[in-house]
Structure 1
């Protein structure tokens, strides 16, 4: 994990804690949604460079 991953993780935790002070169910729901979105986006972005490298060599569609 690089520094940006830690920054996003800290932001999600602080957002969840802040919302939990307002309404516990809201904090849990929003934090879960943000973690799911971050996980999906991270997985997609992690696969992206390998495809771009194959296309630059002429190996992709």
Structure 2
């Protein structure tokens, strides 16, 4: 079944995808800073906290 769809896509594809503008230009310093801030917030939210570090920070009981 997946091979069928791959063949259909290959034959029905009209032209190659054009890259979006964000893939062609480098971000300016402000945008890069926002990206680093978002990356830090994501890591701070998703990385698990050890019980010892949570105790030092006063988080939890």
Q: Structures share a fold, TM > 0.5?
A: no
Q: Smaller-chain TM-score range?
A: 0.3 to 0.5
Q: Which structure exhibits the higher relative contact order, with contacts defined as CA atoms closer than 8 Å and separated by 6 or more residues?
A: 1
Identify the structure with the greater helix proportion.
Answer: 1
TM-score by length of 2: 0.34
Q: Larger radius of gyration, structure 1 or 2?
A: 2
